Amino acid sequence: MFQTENFIKSLVVGCAFALVACQSSAPTVSVATTTAAVECSCIQDALTGAALTPSQLIAKLSNAPMVIVGEEHTNEQHHNIEQWLLQNLAKTRRQGSVLMEMIDVSQQDGVNRVKQASLSGTAVSATRAAETMRWNSGWPWDLYADVVMTAVEGPYPLIAANISRKQVSELYANPTFPRGERSSRPQVHEALSAIIYLMHDGNIDSEQVNAMMSIQQHRDRFMAEQLSKAPRPALLIAGGYHAAKDIGVPLHLADLHAQQPVVVMLTTEGTKITAKQADYIWSVPAVK
């Protein structure tokens, strides 16, 4: 399924978080965030192998009703790219909604209060926003603040894409799996089990693996449900495994008979990803 151990380790679902997202010519896009990660010509069409510039990728995504951006949670360059995408996609068409794995349903009311204050013209500091949203410290705020505040200040809803901690605890105690022809295929469960074993260096028993796989798939199903009913065009930011076309949210969208998303996978140089996992691959240099 995954071609290298590097892929398994680098596109971490976030075990600590996730287991306990036609124009004929390319528009001219001004760069709103200037970083080496954004300025590089390191984007590839996964199917054709063609190289793309960031502006060309924006043109490809501008007509997509649903986009999923898969990240490595602790990669600062990935968060810079996500912020750039939010800023520049909005210049080519009106953004309908943004969804984030890092926000769960229990936080939605707080998110809505911050959003309403921002839209009313009230200046909301990042610190106050995090407090009001009851931001989960498991997702380092210093990494996510710019992305979240960009979404807060946009004229579109910011939507929770994760199940609550209570639901996680219930699933861990009593694992169940969402129904669906594609997401329940043996090869999908086998791949997820292998990932979980690998992230724990094999120091985990089969019952724990089953519980964690249950949580993972319910997260994927909830993301798919939220994305399928979100105002269009919708953009979901999530961990790489959630974004992957062969084991994540896209399979659950198919089981829901929903439209298929365009998947942009953010990676680190040396990670091998194919068209089975993503539509576009944006690779950044490894930080030494």
Please report, for the domain that includes residue 103, its CATH number: 3.40.50.11550
Its pTM stands at 0.88
Q: What's the domain count of the chain?
A: 1
d(C-alpha 84, C-alpha 67), whole Å: 14
Residues whose CB is less than 8 angstroms from the CB of residue 4 and which lie 6 or more positions away in sequence, other chains included: 271, 272
Handedness of CA 14, 86, 254, 47 (dihedral sign): negative
The secondary structure of the chain in percent helix, strand, coil, rounded to multiples of 5, reads 45, 15, 40
Amino acid, res. 288: K
Max intra-chain CA distance, the chain: 53
Query: What domain range includes position 16?
Result: 5-23+30-231+240-284
| 262 Cβ contact list (under 8 Å, min separation 6) | 60, 61, 64, 66, 67, 68, 279, 280
Which residues lie across from 45 on neighbouring strands?
Answer: 280
* pLDDT tens across the length of the chain (288 residues): 333 333 333 333 333 333 333 222 333 333 444 466 677 658 999 999 999 999 999 999 999 999 999 999 999 999 999 999 999 999 999 999 999 999 999 999 999 999 999 999 999 999 999 999 999 999 999 999 999 999 999 999 999 999 999 999 999 999 999 999 999 999 999 999 999 999 999 899 999 999 999 999 999 999 999 999 999 999 999 999 999 999 999 999 999 999 999 999 999 998 999 999 999 999 999 987
